[in-house]
Amino acid sequence: MVTLADLQVRSLGPCTVPSPLSHYVGGRATNEYYVGEDDRVLFDDTVELIQRRGLPLEELPTFETGGPRARLFFDPGSVRVGVVTCGGLCPGLNDVIRAIVMELHEHYGVRDVVGFRNGYAGLVPGLGLEPVALTPDFVANIHERGGTVLGSSRGAQDVGVVVDTLQARGIDILFVIGGDGSMRGAHRIAEEATARGADIAVVGVPKTIDNDIPHIGQSFGFQTAYSRAAQSIKAAKIEAEASLNGVGLVKVMGRHAGFIACYSALAGHDADFVLIPEVPFALDGDNGLLEHVRRKVAAQGHAVLVVAEGAGQEHLPHDGATDASGNARLADIGRLLRERITDDFTSRGEEVLFRYFDPGYFIRSVPAEPSDSVYCSRLAQTAVHAAMAGRTDMVVGRRRHRFVHVPISYVTHRPHHVSPDGDLWLSVLESTAQPFDMR
């Protein structure tokens, strides 16, 4: 069970430098739109959950609020900043880079910002990846394109070498934009810097297109991803409707969490079945998927399935191979479903026209949509405020519309999943009218 101690964010030391943003926070108190600098945000959000803990108010688990502070740890005139993007692509990476640079330059007066290229590999001198100066002119229009101008990579690097590089270049603040594995790397960097007595703030902006990092609200890029996936689902339905016994299948990203599958299906109400890693299903039998698909096609002339890439892996062989991040390589559930559904119709002497859509790389490489761009900017600004105030070994997130600081160790202790007992999955079942259980 989470405790107040679990949510305490580390600081490099007392804040003694007057902030150029002090006029933004002077005299402002907590209200329904703003959380004061010395206030905290509750972890629990219902009376019952709070009462169940049986703790006095001052011992309840709470998050440190995000936002500008009246005083800073770092002197803006002398601070040096590094930015790195790690892991797979995601809509909004360039938006975050741009917003970090502009906030540092325009509001704090920080002039020395560099971007390390190709993830943590850019912090290893032997690989020859020289950093790039991040100026307002350089980042001015980068949010208009997808991907990351800094490049990215997967896999860990020697943390000792990474901190050597930071110290050699005089970096005081490192912003890490990446997913679960990248945040674990950021945690190790922060720990190594602390062990050396180096005042280096390591602040993360968590990035996961699957939305599977807990305690940060919704991850940036996620809205763009499920919006684009919904377009593929619409196309699959149009194709299926136009065919005799048409079946459309759309495979979306989601190794361990089915959030994109759920939200993209809800966005257009075009799916008849949604399959996610969190909810097992049988293929065969009277209550198996194949039987339900055949019944749906018989009833309405077509069927549309949305499947997360990590769904149904129990039906597939695995060779134990992993990627550079240590993740197990997934077998193709979409291909299996195409084969099994086609074979099922054929074995009964029935015609079927199958259309398979896999928009995975397309939806992660596009520019962020406006709603995500706004969110990216606000996350980046919150990260800058935290770093300038000397916070370290933490990520920024939004907890029920309040921006907060979360220790890296807490967001990486478990993944975030769609709850089969939660209201999101219930909404999917209501939207698709698929059986509550297919086992």
According to the annotation, is 314 in a ligand binding site?
A: no
Residue type, 138: F
Is the confidence at residue 112, as pLDDT, over 70? yes
Report, at the CATH architecture level, how domain 5-219+368-399 is classified: 3-Layer(aba) Sandwich (3.40)
Is the confidence at residue 375, as pLDDT, over 70? yes
According to the annotation, is 268 in a ligand binding site?
A: no
Give the whole-angstrom CA distance, residue 107 versus residue 143.
19
Stretch among 54-58, 154-158, 429-433 having the lowest mean pLDDT: 154-158
> pTM of this prediction?
0.94
Distance of CA 33 to the CA centre of its chain: 24
Could you report the per-residue pLDDT of 148-181, keeping only the tens digit for each? 999 998 888 999 999 999 999 999 999 999 988 8
According to the annotation, is 36 in a ligand binding site?
A: no
Domain 223-365+420-432 has CATH 3.40.50.460: yes
According to the annotation, is 1 in a ligand binding site?
A: no
What residues does CATH 3.40.50.450 cover in the chain? 5-219+368-399
According to the annotation, is 179 in a ligand binding site?
A: yes
Per-residue confidence at 218, pLDDT binned at 50, 70, 90? confident
Give the whole-angstrom CA distance, residue 13 versus residue 255.
39
Could you report the per-residue pLDDT of 248-298, keeping only the tens digit for each? 999 999 989 999 999 999 999 999 999 999 999 999 999 999 999 999 999
Q: Which residues are catalytic?
A: 210
Is the confidence at residue 323, as pLDDT, over 80? no
Distances in Å between the alpha carbon of 8 and those of 4, 102, 179, 243, 248? 7, 28, 21, 58, 48
**What proportion of the chain, given as a percentage, has pLDDT over 90?**
83
What residues does CATH 3.40.50.460 cover in the chain? 223-365+420-432
Per-residue confidence at 324, pLDDT binned at 50, 70, 90? low
Give the whole-angstrom CA distance, residue 17 versus residue 19.
6
